[in-house]
Amino acid sequence: MLFLALKALISGILIAAASTLAKRYPGFGALVASLPLVSVLGMIWLWGEKPDTANMADHVGATFWYILPSLPMFLAIPALLRSGVGFWLSLGLGCGLTIALYAGMLTIAPRFGISL
Protein backbone atom coordinates (compact mmCIF):
# COMPACT_ATOMS: atom_id res chain seq x y z
CA MET A 1 0.00 0.00 0.00
CA LEU A 2 2.88 2.37 0.74
CA PHE A 3 4.33 1.65 -2.73
CA LEU A 4 1.00 2.58 -4.33
CA ALA A 5 0.89 5.85 -2.38
CA LEU A 6 4.49 6.63 -3.41
CA LYS A 7 3.68 5.95 -7.07
CA ALA A 8 0.63 8.21 -6.90
CA LEU A 9 2.57 10.99 -5.18
CA ILE A 10 5.45 11.01 -7.67
CA SER A 11 3.12 10.78 -10.66
CA GLY A 12 0.91 13.57 -9.29
CA ILE A 13 3.90 15.84 -8.70
CA LEU A 14 4.98 15.44 -12.33
CA ILE A 15 1.52 16.29 -13.63
CA ALA A 16 1.28 19.30 -11.32
CA ALA A 17 4.73 20.48 -12.42
CA ALA A 18 3.78 20.28 -16.11
CA SER A 19 0.54 22.23 -15.62
CA THR A 20 2.24 24.83 -13.42
CA LEU A 21 4.99 25.36 -15.99
CA ALA A 22 2.41 25.65 -18.76
CA LYS A 23 0.74 28.61 -17.05
CA ARG A 24 3.84 30.75 -17.48
CA TYR A 25 5.67 28.98 -20.31
CA PRO A 26 3.13 27.15 -22.52
CA GLY A 27 5.78 25.70 -24.82
CA PHE A 28 7.97 24.41 -22.00
CA GLY A 29 4.95 23.02 -20.16
CA ALA A 30 3.97 21.24 -23.36
CA LEU A 31 7.47 19.82 -23.67
CA VAL A 32 7.33 18.42 -20.14
CA ALA A 33 3.81 17.08 -20.73
CA SER A 34 4.90 15.44 -23.99
CA LEU A 35 7.81 13.60 -22.44
CA PRO A 36 6.98 9.95 -22.00
CA LEU A 37 7.20 10.36 -18.21
CA VAL A 38 4.04 8.38 -17.57
CA SER A 39 5.30 5.56 -19.77
CA VAL A 40 8.74 5.57 -18.19
CA LEU A 41 7.30 5.70 -14.67
CA GLY A 42 4.90 2.93 -15.61
CA MET A 43 7.83 0.81 -16.78
CA ILE A 44 9.72 1.50 -13.56
CA TRP A 45 6.70 0.67 -11.40
CA LEU A 46 5.97 -2.48 -13.43
CA TRP A 47 9.60 -3.62 -13.27
CA GLY A 48 9.64 -3.04 -9.52
CA GLU A 49 6.57 -5.22 -9.09
CA LYS A 50 7.27 -7.81 -11.79
CA PRO A 51 10.83 -7.86 -13.18
CA ASP A 52 10.04 -9.99 -16.22
CA THR A 53 11.74 -9.04 -19.50
CA ALA A 54 9.15 -10.69 -21.74
CA ASN A 55 6.30 -8.95 -19.93
CA MET A 56 8.14 -5.62 -20.10
CA ALA A 57 8.86 -6.03 -23.81
CA ASP A 58 5.16 -6.75 -24.46
CA HIS A 59 4.13 -3.76 -22.35
CA VAL A 60 6.51 -1.32 -24.07
CA GLY A 61 5.64 -2.62 -27.53
CA ALA A 62 1.91 -2.25 -26.88
CA THR A 63 2.49 1.25 -25.49
CA PHE A 64 4.04 2.28 -28.81
CA TRP A 65 1.03 1.06 -30.76
CA TYR A 66 -1.40 2.81 -28.38
CA ILE A 67 0.44 6.12 -28.69
CA LEU A 68 -0.20 6.30 -32.44
CA PRO A 69 -4.02 6.58 -32.27
CA SER A 70 -3.75 9.19 -29.51
CA LEU A 71 -1.68 11.62 -31.58
CA PRO A 72 -4.52 13.05 -33.75
CA MET A 73 -6.20 14.33 -30.57
CA PHE A 74 -3.34 16.81 -30.21
CA LEU A 75 -4.15 18.21 -33.64
CA ALA A 76 -7.94 18.10 -33.32
CA ILE A 77 -8.26 19.93 -29.99
CA PRO A 78 -6.24 23.04 -30.99
CA ALA A 79 -8.03 23.15 -34.35
CA LEU A 80 -11.41 23.03 -32.61
CA LEU A 81 -10.40 25.66 -30.06
CA ARG A 82 -9.09 27.99 -32.76
CA SER A 83 -12.33 27.62 -34.69
CA GLY A 84 -14.35 28.79 -31.71
CA VAL A 85 -15.47 25.52 -30.16
CA GLY A 86 -15.45 25.67 -26.34
CA PHE A 87 -12.77 23.95 -24.29
CA TRP A 88 -14.90 21.18 -22.77
CA LEU A 89 -16.54 20.26 -26.07
CA SER A 90 -13.15 20.32 -27.82
CA LEU A 91 -11.69 18.11 -25.12
CA GLY A 92 -14.64 15.73 -25.30
CA LEU A 93 -14.48 15.50 -29.09
CA GLY A 94 -10.71 14.97 -28.97
CA CYS A 95 -11.12 12.19 -26.41
CA GLY A 96 -13.95 10.68 -28.45
CA LEU A 97 -11.73 10.69 -31.53
CA THR A 98 -9.00 8.96 -29.55
CA ILE A 99 -11.41 6.30 -28.26
CA ALA A 100 -12.63 5.64 -31.80
CA LEU A 101 -9.05 5.37 -33.07
CA TYR A 102 -8.17 3.02 -30.18
CA ALA A 103 -11.09 0.81 -31.20
CA GLY A 104 -9.83 0.87 -34.77
CA MET A 105 -6.33 -0.04 -33.60
CA LEU A 106 -7.69 -2.98 -31.60
CA THR A 107 -9.54 -4.17 -34.70
CA ILE A 108 -6.76 -3.65 -37.22
CA ALA A 109 -3.63 -4.54 -35.22
CA PRO A 110 -4.18 -8.32 -35.10
CA ARG A 111 -4.47 -8.39 -38.90
CA PHE A 112 -0.84 -7.23 -39.02
CA GLY A 113 0.36 -9.63 -36.33
CA ILE A 114 0.48 -6.92 -33.65
CA SER A 115 -0.44 -8.23 -30.22
CA LEU A 116 -2.01 -5.69 -27.90
CA 101 to chain CA mean position, Å: 14
Q: Would the pTM of this model clear 0.95, i.e. be above it?
A: no
CA distance 43 to 75: 27
pLDDT tens-digit series, residues 11-20: 888 888 888 9
- pLDDT given for residue 2 in this prediction: 84
Which band of pLDDT confidence, cut at 50, 70 and 90, is reported for residue 110? Answer: very high
- pLDDT given for residue 45 in this prediction: 87
Dihedral sign computed on CA atoms, order 74, 64, 30, 98: positive
Spatial contact of 94 and 77, defined as CB atoms under 8 Å apart = yes
pLDDT tens-digit series, residues 65-108: 999 999 999 999 999 999 999 999 999 999 999 999 999 999 99
Spatial contact of 17 and 28, defined as CB atoms under 8 Å apart = no
